[in-house]
Every structure is written in structure tokens, then in C-alpha cells.
Amino acid sequence: MNPSPLPSGPLLLRCRMLLAHARAVPLRDAGVLIEHGTVVRVAPFAELADGVPADRTTELDGVVLPAFTDAHSHLRALPLGEQGVADTDLETWVVRLTGTTALDSYDDALAAAVALVTTGVTTVQAIHHTFAGADMYAAGVRAVASALTEAGMRAELAVGITDRAEFLPDPPSAAWPGPAPEPRSLAAPVRGVPPRDLPDLAASLAIPCPGVRVGVAPVAPQWCSDEALDVLRQCAEAGMRLHTHLLESRYQRTWLGGSDGGGDGGSDPVSRLDRHGLLGPGLSAAHGVWLTGPEIALLARRGVTLVHCPVSNLRLGSGDASVRSWLDAGVNVALGMDSQHTAAADMFAEMRAALAAAERAGGPLTPHEVLAMATEGGAVATGHGGRLGRIAPGFRADLICVAAGTTDAEVDADPVERIVCGAAPADVTHVFRSGRPLVAAGEVYGRASADAALARLRAALAADREARTRRLGALAAYEEPLRGLLARTEA
């Protein structure tokens, strides 16, 4: 890889148009002065030009705005369509996932992270979850963390834990087919890292990777025992951040209906998380499609961030979240792509999907609100509130330049609407993370490494094609009984 050097002296950006935050008045010919990776002054360019050598000045001929945070990711580089996994309902999709080819964690994360950079993302929050034992798990997390560092990405990396039936109703209901199909793991929910070993594992992952922080995640409450939730609270009390999936599909409130819905008290996932002390500003929760009004109010009071994943919700048939009601209740809202791209990661398409989902849900959002979710909302979601998401003195210099037409009239025409409603990754000409260029004049510094990683990933897919087809075929036997179970739950 060819990382650009971290600038040591002051760096002055001359911005044709500066949008300091999602609701800011755009400034023409603005200057942003950066020292040690932090913005120290924002002013008309002419006021800052004196005293900064010309070779320390970069001209940005477009709209400069804060870089994005992808607040919910699995760092999957390749669309799952390339593995033969078609879109379907979430529950069936999760079963199909278990038949996919296991890919190299480093290559997958590196290619995924570089793709995120090209769409203007400099901070990602990702859940890493496998069913490996502690040693293998630690090695996987370290590989992902070093890939993120290599890509220049700032990251919250949540070590995911599950210790209850991930894919089956718990306890297995009489409706479930008898013989355990392959892979055996489907019917063996207790696997991977036992909850009691999680604190040691997480503590062992104090990684020397700048910008990458390790947190923990109940992958979803319905997949965690009470013991696991208590262990996660201990991790949070020790200072780790928390991330989770929450009420993504309609079946998760009572977890496919037939079971107790989870742990002590047999109550809903939000009450369970609250009872275990996990609702607080250190928690961000993805999806939230099926939250009720009182639950949304409780999350607002506790300071929990909700991460809206509109593309994923649409592709997996989860429904349209009522994000309007989240914002109106005072919840901090971020945006996450959930690694559900069909071609390449595209934060602009995700923002447009948020607008469309809000229309369908009957509570429209403005482009400014959606941009705020992708910037300041994401900063809060990842524990960087007040340091990321704006271009202002004291904030880290994470910013991007989006080409915005050639005439002044084009540049002037509400840049937020232009960018949210019309831009694409190809329009991102520059990306800076802490003042360090990751994309400059359209050149992506990590491109060659990412392309090499992608080639290795595709070779692995090709080598496993026949075996994967067999596995996915065997898993298809689950789908009809699962649909029956879902239908009965719905009824």
C-alpha cells in the first residue's frame, strides 16, 4: 500500500464552497487551517493565506463537507450475490449466510474499508462475529484491525457475542424439523466464545492500531443469554463501547413467537437490555425497525443512538423504520450501510434510501437531516461527538470534497440537496482523515492493495464454488419449515 504521509506542518485547504456541517450556511472561497490533524481555524481563504506557504495549500474545487461515518458495517467487501445468496427475508438470509465461503478477514476488511473511503467514509463501526474459539477470534479481530489501519480508517470494532440459538427458535419448537441438517452448527447454538471468557478476550485486544478501538456487542439481544448480557455490561463498565442489532425484523420481539423471547422475565428486547443496564450513551443499536413509541422514548432518555440502515431494511424485507419519530423523540440517529451493497459501497445512495424510506413510512426527512445522520449523528454513535462530524476549530480534520458542477450557479444551488439527492462515489475527489489525504484528485491511495485483496477473495470464492453450492442447497431444506414458522408467528 502507498499511504500518504501524515502532514507535519500546517495544511491550508482552499475550498470553493465549504459546508461546515449539515445545517451550516455554505461559505464560498473558504479556508480551513489544519495542524496536527485538527482544524484550528475556518475563515475566508484570503484571511488565512498569509503565513501558510503555497506548497502547504491544497485547492479543493467543489463542496467541502465533513467526512461520513458508516455506523453499522460487517466489513464485507463482496456483495453476497457473488456467493449465490439472494435477497430474502432476514431470517432465511441469516440461515443462508451460514453456507457462504469463509473469507480471509484481513483481505475482506481491507477491500471493504478502502471502498468505504472512496464513498467519503473515514469512520466505520463494525461488528466482527464468528463462531471461532477465543484464540482464533482474537486473531481475526487483530487482522481486521490492522486492515482498517492499513486503509487509513478510524474504527469502532465491536467484538460480537452470541450464546443462544441464533437461527432457531429457542427452545426448539415442535414445529422444527427433527434431524439436524448440515452444517451441524445450526443446531448447536452454544459455540464460539463463552460469555465468561469475553472480558479476557476483549482485554487481550488492546490493539496497537491507531484509530481502531475495540468494543463489544451482543450481536442481538435475542441471541444472548442473561449471563452474556451481564458480562457485556461489565465490559461497558470497564469503558468499552457497545453496539448491537435491535428489533430488525418483526419476529425478534418474541423471537419467532413460540419461545419466551429471552431470558429472565421473558420480556421484549428493549426491556431486557434496560434491565441488564445496557441502555446508555455508550450503546448504539442498528435497525430498530419494530420499536414502539414508548421504547423510542426510553432510548431517547437513556441517550442510546439508533443507526438507520435503510438499504438493508429494504433488501431483507425488514420494513421501513419510523426515523421521523426517532428524531422527534430526541434520539441521536446515525446511518449505516450494513455491508448490503449490490455493486460498491455508496453512502450517497444510502442517504437517498433514507429519504425514500421516510416517505414510505409517512414521516418525511429533509436532505439536511439525512446528511446530519451521516456526519454528526455517526460521530456521536461512535463516541466521537464534539470531535467529528463538523468542520470547526477543535474537530479532527476528517473532510471530503465532492465535485459540485462547474458553474457558480451549480455550486451555489443548495449544496446539501445537490449532494444528498444527486452525488455518487465517483464525485468524491478528496478524502482527508485527520488531515491525511486518503483520496486526492480522485486517486485512492489504497486502491492497489484493495484490488489485490479483491482478487484473492474472488479466487477463494471460485475455489469453493462447488462445495458452497452443495452447502447452500442443503440449507434450502430449512427454508420451507422456517417460512411456516414465520407465518404462524405473524398470525
User: In angstroms, what is the minimal distance from the CB of 259 to Zn ion?
Assistant: 22
C-alpha cell at 313: 431494511
Whether residue 179 is preceded by a cis peptide bond, meaning omega within 30 degrees of 0, is: no
Which is nearer to Zn ion, 244 or 322 (by Cβ)?
244
Which is nearer to Zn ion, 80 or 397 (by Cβ)?
80
User: In angstroms, what is the minimal distance from the CB of 98 to Zn ion?
Assistant: 15
Helix 447-463 vs helix 465-490: crossing angle, to nearest 10: 90
| Closest among 48, 191, 87 to 129, alpha carbons compared | 191
User: In angstroms, what is the minimal distance from the CB of 332 to Zn ion?
Assistant: 19
> What sign does the CA torsion over 474, 489, 81, 219 have?
negative
CA distance 90 to 317: 7
User: In angstroms, what is the minimal distance from the CB of 78 to Zn ion?
Assistant: 16
Stretch that binds Zn ion, among 91-99, 332-340, 395-403, 439-447 (CB under 5 A): 332-340
Which is nearer to Zn ion, 252 or 429 (by Cβ)?
252
- 3-state SS assignment for residue 406: coil
Which is nearer to Zn ion, 100 or 429 (by Cβ)?
100
User: In angstroms, what is the minimal distance from the CB of 397 to Zn ion?
Assistant: 29
Stretch that binds Zn ion, among 297-305, 336-344, 448-456, 466-474 (CB under 5 A): 336-344
User: In angstroms, what is the minimal distance from the CB of 363 to Zn ion?
Assistant: 23
Which is nearer to Zn ion, 58 or 313 (by Cβ)?
313
Neighbour count for residue 397 (Cβ, 10 Å): 26
Cα three-residue angle 113-65-119, rounded to 5 degrees: 25
CA distance 152 to 205: 19
Neighbour count for residue 87 (Cβ, 10 Å): 14
User: In angstroms, what is the minimal distance from the CB of 287 to Zn ion?
Assistant: 7
CA distance 127 to 159: 6
Which is nearer to Zn ion, 166 or 338 (by Cβ)?
338
Which is nearer to Zn ion, 342 or 469 (by Cβ)?
342
Stretch that binds Zn ion, among 91-99, 273-281, 335-343, 472-480 (CB under 5 A): 335-343
Which is nearer to Zn ion, 30 or 90 (by Cβ)?
90
Q: Which residue of this chain has its Cβ atom nearest to Zn ion in the complex?
A: 338
Q: Which residue has the cell 456467493?
A: 83
Stretch that binds Zn ion, among 314-322, 331-339, 398-406, 471-479 (CB under 5 A): 331-339
CA distance 390 to 65: 8
Whether residue 172 is preceded by a cis peptide bond, meaning omega within 30 degrees of 0, is: no
User: In angstroms, what is the minimal distance from the CB of 116 to Zn ion?
Assistant: 15
User: In angstroms, what is the minimal distance from the CB of 74 to Zn ion?
Assistant: 6
Stretch that binds Zn ion, among 2-10, 330-338, 361-369, 479-487 (CB under 5 A): 330-338
Footprint (CB under 5 A) of Zn ion, residues 170-229: none
User: In angstroms, what is the minimal distance from the CB of 72 to Zn ion?
Assistant: 6
320 binds Zn ion per the rule CB under 5 A: no
Among 268, 338, 369, 427, binds Zn ion (CB under 5 A): 338
Size of the site for Zn ion (CB under 5 A): 1
| Closest among 266, 218, 206 to 242, alpha carbons compared | 218
Burial class (CB in 10 A: 0-12, 13-18, 19+), 188: exposed
| Alpha-helical segments (H) within 124-225 | 134-151, 198-203
User: In angstroms, what is the minimal distance from the CB of 253 to Zn ion?
Assistant: 18
Checking 464-469 for CB contacts under 8 A at 24+ apart, the result is: 464/101, 468/83, 468/84, 468/99, 468/100, 468/101, 469/84
CA distance 336 to 325: 18
Which is nearer to Zn ion, 381 or 428 (by Cβ)?
381
Which is nearer to Zn ion, 45 or 167 (by Cβ)?
167
Stretch that binds Zn ion, among 90-98, 159-167, 337-345, 381-389 (CB under 5 A): 337-345
Which is nearer to Zn ion, 308 or 418 (by Cβ)?
308
Interacting residue ranges for Zn ion, rule: CB under 5 A:
338
